[in-house]
Structure 1
Amino acid sequence: MTTFLQASDRAESTKTMHAGYARVWIIPVLGDVRLDQLNVNDINRLILTMKADGRADATRRNCYTTLRIALDDAVVNGLLATNPVHRVKQPKVTRHEARFLRPDEVPALIAAAATLRYGPILSFILGTGLRRGEALALTWAHIDLDQGTARVNGSLVRRNGHLLVSTPKTAASRRSVALSPAMVALLQRWRTAQAAERLVAGNLWHDDGGGPRAGYVFTTAFGGPVEPQNVLRTVQLAATAAGLPDVTVHALRHTYATTALLNGVPLKVVSSNLGHASIQITADTYGHVTDAAAQAAAAAVAEALGL
């Protein structure tokens, strides 16, 4: 499995995830079962073992997926005739409504983050819907302030002790996102501040040797990439100061999507901006919002037609 996984064209983050499930769960529980003797009962035993250990629905489902993919590879390699995982029902995941900020909560969070170094990143995610890693992976070469666009080409992640930019998981994740005038102004202010920091840092400034246009948009005081965990800490500090419970970095992305849908932005546009692999993912995640938007649209059409 290890050799075939590493040789595959799956994203590095996906390989790491599958390897983790294999190491922590699949091998310890099923490692003593011969491949040709693996059956439905063994697979159910794995899922029940994880459930007994208190693993979340999504974790059990992900492990199921890892095993299914591994055994699919075994079939391709002629090690198995059929994949027994396909005869086991995929674990269900109970979906919970995503936390998002109400319009009256956003100014409080932004005000609380105003004195924090990475506060502008929170505003940028709120205004674009980008994932945290996508925002941190942007370089100035990806930004066109005149046209008001940002090209998303990867995600900044910490792997094996190093910060690196991973390739997008899907083609939809590699996209161009429109920047509002407010976001363009935010980036202009940040670039001006960054230029001043660059002068102060002198030869200690880090930009991978490519000059200002090649450097990251959001950086440390010395031009290096921003540790993703520091953005999480910024959200936590700002949310606590503003008295807002349960606010995560992902809640900012949800806020963007929810606000867009409630204000009449088409579902397809929101899905594209979020980088979802399909419009169905967006519809499933924001079903409660799209229902409300549909009701508002119906009312607006009736009013416009004088009905």
Structure 2
Amino acid sequence: MAARKPNGRSSIYLGKDGLWHGWVMMGVKDDGSPDRRHRKGASETEVTRKVRDLEKQRDSGKVDKPGRVPTVEEWMRTWLDTIAPRTVSRLTLDSTYRPKVERWIIPGLGKHRLDRLRPEHLDAFYVWLSQQGLAENTVLQIHRILSRALKIAVRREVIGRNVCTLIDAPTGEDVEIEPLTADEARAVLNSAKDRRNGTRWSVALALGLRQCEALGLRWKYVDLDKGVIRVFWQIKHQRYRHGCEDHHECGERLHRYPCPRDCPKSKRTSGRRHICLRQCPPRCRQHGGKCPKFCPQDCTGHAPSCPERVGGWAFVKPKGKGKRTVLIPPPLIPLLKLQREAERAEEKAAGKKWRGMDLVWCRLDGSPIDPGDDWDEWKGLLRAAGVEKDARVHDARHTAATLLLEQGVDISVVQEILGHSQLTTTKRYTHVTSKLASDAAARMGRALWDD
């Protein structure tokens, strides 16, 4: 057996077992001991190649941490459970990241060891996703989630490279923006003026607040004397879940929480829901006294018994640039004053039943408006106003951006009003402002041909 090479140099020798062995000094471990990596093979040529690959990684600074490298499945779940929650909201994790990881990334790539994931594996994975009928934007979002997790793995020296950077990212498609015209917007406001919470749509079309920003707007952030709205928060409904360490020991038998993946008393149905096999308690008085034996995870009728439960309505930071202050158009100020007076009257009439959260627009008992009900209200307004477009609630925001640009407002000001973090997002609206384009063409014509 050959002796170890001095000065940290690599060594290759023929062992007593008939195989060739190679040792490479890669650096120092966390405990201060030498980090020497071993490779073996049937021939000296094979081991020499492996040793040179290790030396190349070492010299380029792409050295994996010593120990067993996790699989894609293991790392993605570690990232979701312990790393991502510090930078990504719980709602985004539960509604976007985790479903895509569990439904697509783990089944498609989960068995690969993280350091052995290669570009051709990703190429085949994205082809498979396209064959499943996923939209281009969904495939791009999955790619970004995977790339983000691998970027952290490289930063923590779990692996030496992020394989997602070695391929071209899947192409996304621009969502067609179809805002309302000025006449259509006026028709909607005319239909909404006599409705309860009608000013909700005045603010949406004038200031372009996102749906959850509008539904989460509170009076303390509305200064009608100065005519400003501080968009500091949005409201989201987070799914109820157990807050205690061991949910099986908390006495929780009411099924308002989703069963965890490893719950021994749950099963996967044909859809995406778990069904908890614990029976509903005798005190359940929902469903007219005929409580079903098994209750799905999204049942909201039972009062949870876990004292450490977490979830429900919560105020979270808005997207994009975060907090922003916008000016209220002068004609809208008296309408908001009437809205505040009407809400105070409702609060007085409700008495102890009032569940107010200081919201500008709320239900009759003061509780937040469900986004689904808000969507139905918008669709009803479109029908009442005679608007034939199948516009979404978010298209009210697009309408505000387009109308601002058509009035000649500088694009950087529009970016600030809408709270876009990047100017490129605001520029998406410039291609639909045909009024500005026509005006520019007319000015050029007068400049060159007007006698």
* TM-score, reference length from structure 1: 0.89
Secondary structure of the corresponding residue to residue 182 of structure 2: coil
Query: Which residue in the other structure is 1:212 paired with?
Result: none
Query: Which residue in the other structure is 1:88 paired with?
Result: 167
Contact 2:85–2:93, Cα closer than 8 Å, also in 1: no
**Residue of 436, 443, 451 corresponding to 1:293:** 436
Moved more, 238-247 or 33-42: 238-247
Query: Which residue in the other structure is 2:330 paired with?
Result: 181
**Residue of 87, 101, 107 corresponding to 1:28:** 107
1:133 aligns with 2:283: no
Query: Which residue in the other structure is 1:280 paired with?
Result: 424
* Contiguous gaps of at least 5 residues in structure 2: 1-78, 241-311
**Residue of 353, 361, 379 corresponding to 1:236:** 379
Q: How is 1:136-285 mapped onto 2 (pairs within 5 angstroms)? A: 136-160=215-239, 162-170=312-320, 172-208=321-357, 215-244=358-387, 245-283=389-427, 285=428
| Count of equivalent residues | 298
Q: Structure 1 vs Structure 2: percent identity of aligned residues?
A: 31
Contact 1:142–1:150, Cα closer than 8 Å, also in 2: yes
Find the structure with the greater CA-based Rg. Answer: 2
- Higher-helix-fraction structure: 1
Counterparts of 2:207 and 2:430, CA distance in 1: 20
Secondary structure of the corresponding residue to residue 104 of structure 1: helix
Q: How is 1:93-108 mapped onto 2 (pairs within 5 angstroms)? A: 93-108=172-187
Q: Deviations over 1:225-252 (max 9, x none)?
A: 1112211111111223333221111111
Q: Deviations over 1:99-151 (max 9, x none)?
A: 11112212332333445434331221001111111111111110110111111
1:76 aligns with 2:155: yes
Counterparts of 2:444 and 2:385, CA distance in 1: 39
Query: Relative contact order (alpha carbons < 8 A, sep ≥ 6): 1 or 2 greater?
Result: 1
- Higher-strand-fraction structure: 2
Q: Deviations over 1:37-68 (max 9, x none)?
A: 11112222222222111111111111100000
Residue type of the alignment partner of 2:318: P
Q: How is 1:40-55 mapped onto 2 (pairs within 5 angstroms)? A: 40-55=119-134
RMSD between aligned residues:
2.3
Deviation of 1:258 (Å): 0.4
1:111 aligns with 2:111: no
Relative to structure 1, is the Cα distance of residues 120 and 291 closer, same or farther in structure 2, using a 3 angstrom cutoff? closer
Deviation of 1:222 (Å): 1.1
Counterparts of 1:105 and 1:216, CA distance in 2: 28
Residue type of the alignment partner of 1:282: T
Query: Which residue in the other structure is 1:8 paired with?
Result: 86
Counterparts of 1:197 and 1:301, CA distance in 2: 57
Counterparts of 1:297 and 1:195, CA distance in 2: 49
Residue type of the alignment partner of 2:81: T
